[in-house]
Amino acid sequence: MSVIFDRVALIGLGLIAGSMAHAMREGGLAREITGFARSAATRDTAREIGLCDRVCDSVTDAVTDADLIVLAVPVGAMGDVAARIAPHLKPGAIITDVGSVKQDVIDTVGPHLPAHVHFIPGHPLAGTEHSGPKAGFASLFRNRWWLLTPLPDTDPDALDRLNRLLVAMGAKTDRMEAGHHDLVLAVTSHAPHLIAYTMVGVADHLRRVTDEEVIQYSAAGFRDFTRIAASDPTMWRDVFLHNREATLDILGRFTEELFMLQRAIRMGDGQQLHDYFTRTRAIRRGIIDAGQDTDAPDFGRTPGARGS
């Protein structure tokens, strides 16, 4: 037991908040965990499974006297939640969020918050294709990155305290500028998700191939795509709408590149295809090499990054 926060309020009770509740309890990191979800059904489920110490019927109750408030709602809902809780925040409280987009959250949440609280945006790079209050589990963040995008004037003590919680839940943390975060994630997560959704949609439309065939003969490639494409629709709608510029930029590059390869197939240019596939194979090797390094204390630090 090493309590880091007296009272933690989880707003939104999905996969991430649920996993935080499990992880904080396992580590004895919070004295009390309150929770709120907009949907009464979600609140009922959370109560049934005892997800939090107290599930509140109003977001105001949930955040009152909380030392840490975690906004774990879809990115598009963050601004409204911030406006509603702002008058009820305890001086010195830390507010963080777990949204997959950071600049938009800063723009929509920041202006609502009083000067006497610490807003530290964050993003755990962890998840599964499941969602809802029952989807969480304590080890979700173990050895996964949790990126923080603090504003320039962030209080170092508040940042350190939040950071200690994340590390105690098993996460590796790093800090990044919000706009840069959004570009990195557009490449590594947002565009790949849209592409996976698209490919699964194409399969669904192809009437000459039966659904049974698509499903039964889904080899590695497509099976992985369907897993990605099963992620929460509301969360991902908001990601794309709120990281629009970076996502469209990456998708534009992607289609240029795809057209080049399509042309190589059409023209029978085997050398170009082979060269391309050889290059992409090397990138995978880099990921595996990086993965093998996880035990090393300096793993994952971009030169110059202030790893925590």
Q: How far apart are CA 239 and CA 190, in angstroms?
A: 7
Q: Which of 16, 98, 117, 147 binds a copy of itself (CB under 8 A)?
A: 147
Helical segments of 217-302, H only = 220-228, 233-242, 244-267, 270-292
Nearest approach, Cβ of 135 to a copy of itself (angstroms)?
A: 14
Number of residues this chain uses to bind a copy of itself (CB under 8 A): 95
When binding is defined by CB under 8 A, the residue of 2, 40, 281, 297 that contacts a copy of itself is: 281
Question: How far apart are CB 11 and a copy of itself at their closest, in Å?
Answer: 21
Q: What is the residue-wise DSSP string for 130-158? A: --STTS--TTTTTT-EEEE---TT--HHH
Spatial distance between the Cα atoms of 166 and 5, rounded to a whole number of angstroms: 12
The pattern of x and - marking residues 96 through 125 that bind a copy of itself according to CB under 8 A reads: -----------------------------x
Calculate Rg over the CA atoms of the chain. 21
Q: Under the criterion CB under 8 A, does residue 265 sit at the interface with a copy of itself?
A: yes
- Piece of 7-15, 87-95, 103-111, 269-277 that binds a copy of itself (CB under 8 A): 269-277
Is 204 a binder of a copy of itself (CB under 8 A)? yes
Please report whether residue 77 would count as binding a copy of itself according to CB under 8 A. Answer: no
Out of 255, 292, 298, 306, the residue judged to bind a copy of itself by CB under 8 A: 255
Candidates 1, 156, 280, 295: give the one binding a copy of itself (CB under 8 A): 280
- A 10 A CB-CB count for 263 gives 11
3-class DSSP string for 21-73: HHHHHHHCCEEEEEEECCCHHHHHHHHHCCCCCEECCCHHHHHCCCCEEEECC
Window contacting a copy of itself (CB under 8 A); options: 33-41, 49-57, 132-140, 191-199: 191-199
